[in-house]
Amino acid sequence: MIDKEYYVKLSQEANENYTFYKEEAEASIHRREYTTSKRYDISLYWYDRQGEISGDISDEETDTYYEFDKDDRIRVSACDDLIDGYAYITYEENKMTTRTYVDGILDSIKEYLLQGELIHQSVEYFPRFDKLEVEDYIYEGNNLVQIYQPQYENNAYFDHLLRTYFEYDEQGNLLRVLDGTKGVIYVRMPSEEVLVLREKVKEELIQALKEIVSDLCENQSGKEYCFMSIYLHDEVHTVYSPIFHPGLQEVREEQIEENDNDEEEYYYTLWNSGDHPMNDQQELTDQHLIQKLRTLIIYWRSNGDWWEEGVSLWKEVAYALNEKTNWSDYPILTENFVVFVEWEAMDVMSGDLQESIPPAKLLSLQSDRLAPTV
């Protein structure tokens, strides 16, 4: 059981002695290192767990920097997690302590408790919220295999945070990090394996979307559909599990009738799935496929280009579907029905729409004044 009162008193003492801890850390400084963004964290595998990329060392002065003592230990970290937040770090035989201040007021205090050279527990207290966050580190030999966060026990909503699992290759290099539901949050793969997985996932997504459209066509509501949008938000989980939003022909006909001759607004409206009812929205249901796609997206996230790669994959899926599928064979789909990738910043007038649609079908849409000529 964690003694919360101990950490309350510790935070009070840190608040009262801000100047002491600041000056003590600064007096030990041997060198400073500027970075483009957050670069270091004492917590093990912090970047892999958060899905972030560490900042680069900068030749120029930046707002984010770290100061090291003569033993090359970080004593000061500036603005790496908080704007105007400065952490001062102390080292003892069995623990490390970070005291983070914003404008001289304690934001949090965190202890890393050691057994030998290994962190076996970290406890962070946030006085603003009167909240403790605890992590227990579990090892096999010197390899961290699990992190347990007891504050999330008995709350199914946080099952993904309760435990974190770490897997290694035969050489002891980190291979995968999984959340509490065994979902991938970090993965290392050779580039050849990534390409093979990408092609396999692409083919499976094409088939899955054909089935989704087929299921839509089995709907006996009498509705007629003019498109299926693959809607992507700029968050990782929405790229490996997006919303498929059908567009109703009757809504499009109303939009055409209400056209005020503003060409840009006209085409934007025709391809805005948000103007169509949400009742028939679909999602992927094959959990094995979702996990494979998630693995790809997480791999790309580790390399910094998950959004571009994810959107590109979905555009290829849409393009292949429109190219290989005779949608006229499907009941209740219009002659110009297409599947396309949509996102908030999509610009219909600049060619974003065309990247999902083969030339022949695009020409048909343009001839019916349903798509702009770019």
CB within 8 Å of 251: residues ≥ 6 apart: 275, 276, 277
Mean pLDDT within 231-260: 90
pLDDT, one tens digit per residue, over 259-293 is 776 888 899 999 999 999 988 899 999 999 999 99
Mean pLDDT within 120-134: 96
CB 246 within 8 Å of CB 228: yes
Structural Rg of the chain based on CA atoms: 27
CB 350 within 8 Å of CB 267: no
pLDDT score of 221 more than 80: no
Sort strands 333-343 and 225-232 into parallel, antiparallel or unpaired: parallel
Mean pLDDT within 193-218: 94
Query: pLDDT at position 118, please?
Result: 95
Query: pLDDT at position 220, please?
Result: 59
Q: What is the pTM of this model?
A: 0.82
Q: Where exactly are the structural domains of the chain? A: 4-187, 191-367
Q: What percent of the chain has pLDDT over 90?
A: 81
pLDDT score of 139 more than 90: yes
Query: pLDDT at position 249, please?
Result: 94
pLDDT, one tens digit per residue, over 7-50 is 999 999 999 999 999 999 999 999 999 999 999 999 999 999 98
DSSP 228-271: EEEEE-SSHHHHHS-EEEEEEHHHHHHHHHT--S-HHHHHHHHT
213-219: Cβ within 8 A, 24+ apart = 213/327, 213/330, 213/333, 213/339, 214/330, 215/282, 216/246, 216/280, 216/282, 216/332, 217/330, 217/331, 217/332, 217/333, 219/280, 219/332
Query: pLDDT at position 98, please?
Result: 98
